[in-house]
Structure 1
Amino acid sequence: MLLRLGRHYPGIKTWGARHRAWLANQKFVHAEQRLAIEELLLAERQAGERIARLEQAIRTAVADWSLAPVVVFRRELREHEQLAEGLFRFRR
């Protein structure tokens, strides 16, 4: 809808805090357009909350699992991989 109205987000990263603020501050001629954006933002927020609940349920379930140390090790390894990847990109 925004692209059809000729509106382009001026930032680089989408769906971050600044992008959400930009979306929330858009002004529209028709109330239905405002409602559509509000529904979009609500759906995105609810999806994030759903993901957080699922991740918490997985963490709780894994804590009692016999392979919990393997899962913890793999998660820590992935965090280190992401950190190294970020540092490598920064040096370029």
Structure 2
Amino acid sequence: MHNYKYLGGLLGAIYIAVIAFSVTKISVHLAVISAVFGQMVMSALIDHFGWFQIQSNPVNIQRIFGLILLFISMILIYRGSIESN
């Protein structure tokens, strides 16, 4: 059995711990949208460069625009949660 398979479990545990810790510092919806944004950025990079032996799918303007809108939504949610406190 390959040792890199244990990396998924370790990274999963770290991910859960970071989300659980961040929810106490920021709101739940901001923690979730931040995780989704990170996953979207990584998926765009994986698609663009063809990592993990997949066919390369270059990033286009629509994907960049979608990531920008998601980032703007994170900023707006963060500002809204600060103003409400």
> TM-score, with normalisation over the residues of structure 1?
0.35
> TM-score, with normalisation over the residues of structure 2?
0.37
Structure with the bigger RCO (C-alpha within 8 Å, sep 6+) is 2
Q: Which has the larger radius of gyration?
A: 1
More helix by share: 2
